[in-house]
Amino acid sequence: MTNTPTSPPSACCPARSPSSPAPGAESRAAAARLFAREGARVLLAARTEAQLKAVTEEIREAGGTADYVVCDLADATSVRAAVDRAVDLYGRLDVAFNNGATIQRPGPMDELTEGEFDQVYGVNLKGVWLAMVAQVAAIRATARTGAIVNNSSVGSLMGNPELPAYGAMKRAVNSLTESAAVTYGPEGIRVNAIAPGNTLTEMIQAWEAESPVSRSGSRRTPAAPGGGPRRDRAGGGLAAQ
């Protein structure tokens, strides 16, 4: 992953966490802890500073190296600044874990407003694209080789009448990831996506409380009960290394 053995790798973990619920909070924290335990110097990036600060302090108390930057995945300038901050702090970027997501109000697509659709698009797809563009540039300029992992969803692999925009954007992330993989793989930048299943985060619990169809859809995942973010999504972070 790194071509400078004496320099610990650096990992950037962008996410977007609306005030309530916070879909990236649990999985972002689990991934950051895992990166730090594996020896990476971690930069967390999200909108909610209190959560970022808490996880950063936790990692430092455990002996890891971590910092954070407030970032909104829907804003291109903010995304570029977050990636630049990782390079400024650690001198390089080796790994990026894009865990950006916002939620939609459960319901059929004809009941979704244009504004709601645009919000899901702006974060769940465009935000991932913005992050990848900045991360590829940073890896090229510093570590020269590295890895980018995008957090998709099992919802990208099947239809769901209650979450049409969310599923569509996550499916588009899969396609964007595959295109990036074949584009940048030859130069040593690996790009992959993970598609977590029934992971018990606040976002999933909120959806299930609002929609019986969302609840039955999440049960299509064979494993039960659903895993927590520490067990499932953190493992995806390890795959980046």
Q: Tell me, yes or no, if 90 is annotated catalytic.
A: no
DSSP sequence for 124-148: HTHHHHHHHHHHHHHHHHTTSSEEE
Sign of CA dihedral 53, 231, 15, 159: negative
Considering 68, 90, 166, 184, which one is annotated as catalytic? 166
Tell me how far apart the alpha carbons of residues 193 and 153 are, in angstroms, rounded to a whole number: 9
What tokens were used for 206? 């909120």
Strand 10-14 vs strand 95-98: parallel, antiparallel, or unpaired?
A: parallel
CA atoms within 13 A on the CB side of 29: 20
State phi, psi for 38 to the nearest 5 degrees. -85, 0
What positions carry a catalytic annotation?
A: 166
